[in-house]
Structure 1
Amino acid sequence: MTEERTLILIKPDGVKAHHIGQIITRIENKGYSIDGLKLTMATPELLKKHYVDKVNKPYFSEIETYMLEGPIVAIIASGSRIIKGIHVLAGDTSPNQAAPGTIRGDFGRMFDDGILRNVVHSSDNPQNAENEIKLWFPELSQTEQLKESIK
């Protein structure tokens, strides 16, 4: 079994609606470990780095506004094939398409004006996961570098 790490963000709508505990419970009930957890606020600079592939898209300003609405819970989780597992647990990006029983299917909303509130983000591949973890948990990068230099 290959152990993977991933970044999960509980977005401002999930925090505001008090879904933090339920989402963490779902992650742990799947047998995944929570290795890092913090309440944080996004900044425009951080979001531009996180969504680097979307910065020049016409919808980026909507993403930025959404992610700046309030606090975010950033989670580092690990487990066997966790990246795929969390994607299944989260459900389709569009809450209207997400199956009942998934995080987005149960807690996400799509409003009539096209505003999307899909509650969580999760990394889509191992390289992006590591890059995103470094962005959202910069304090761990220093610790990990120190551990590597000791080896």
Structure 2
Amino acid sequence: MKEGRVKMKTEETLILIKPDGVADGHIGEIITRIERKGFEIAALKVTYATDRLLRVHYASKADKEYFKDICSYMKEGPIVALIAKGVNVIAAFHRMAGATSPISALPGTIRADFGREYADGNLRNVVHSSDEVQSAEKEIKIWFPELI
């Protein structure tokens, strides 16, 4: 290794294309954006959220007033769950996804381009992604137990 260079570690992250992203036909574009950045799709499946799975995934939010709305939203239809792999994939995809609220997300991000406000007031923001290595490891085990 040359002096001054830092060897970067390959990471994995969980990405969920949520029911609104699936229903509005954005699966291909989201995957294309991931691949254009040079990241590998290490696993992919179409699945459905269950109450048990959502309680485990959103354990830190389970006691919040809005948790019922999250569960209702995530069970509106199929979800595409995928594992993306690459150097700094967690931070890179977070930037690609944009701010949590589609109205606050910067133009060119997934949430700005494909998200929108809904009349019922529930937040639907197209994608989820792990925010750090530890949560990625935990979330991948939740959504891809067959890979353990």
Which TM-score applies when normalising by structure 1?
Answer: 0.91
Which of residues 3, 6, 21 in structure 1 aligns to 2:10?
Answer: 3
Structure 2 residue 24 is the aligned partner of structure 1 residue 17: yes
What aligned pairs does 1:37-116 form with structure 2 within 5 A after superposition?
Answer: 37-116=44-123
Amino acid at match of 1:12: P
What aligned pairs does 1:130-145 form with structure 2 within 5 A after superposition?
Answer: 130-141=137-148
TM-aligned CA deviation for residue 110 of structure 1: 1.9
CA distance in 2, matches of 1:132, 1:119: 17
Amino acid at match of 1:28: E
Amino acid at match of 2:30: I
1:72-106 deviation digits (Å, cap 9, x = unpaired): 00000011111100000000000000011100000
CA distance in 2, matches of 1:134, 1:33: 18
SS of residue matched to 1:57? coil
Q: Which runs of 5+ in 2 are unaligned?
A: 1-7
Q: Which runs of 5+ in 1 are unaligned?
A: 142-151
TM-aligned CA deviation for residue 111 of structure 1: 2.6
Amino acid at match of 2:82: I
* Corresponding pairs, count: 141
TM-aligned CA deviation for residue 113 of structure 1: 4.4
* 1:121 aligned partner: 128
Amino acid at match of 1:78: K
CA distance in 2, matches of 1:124, 1:110: 23
TM-aligned CA deviation for residue 114 of structure 1: 2.4
Amino acid at match of 1:137: F
Which TM-score applies when normalising by structure 2?
Answer: 0.93
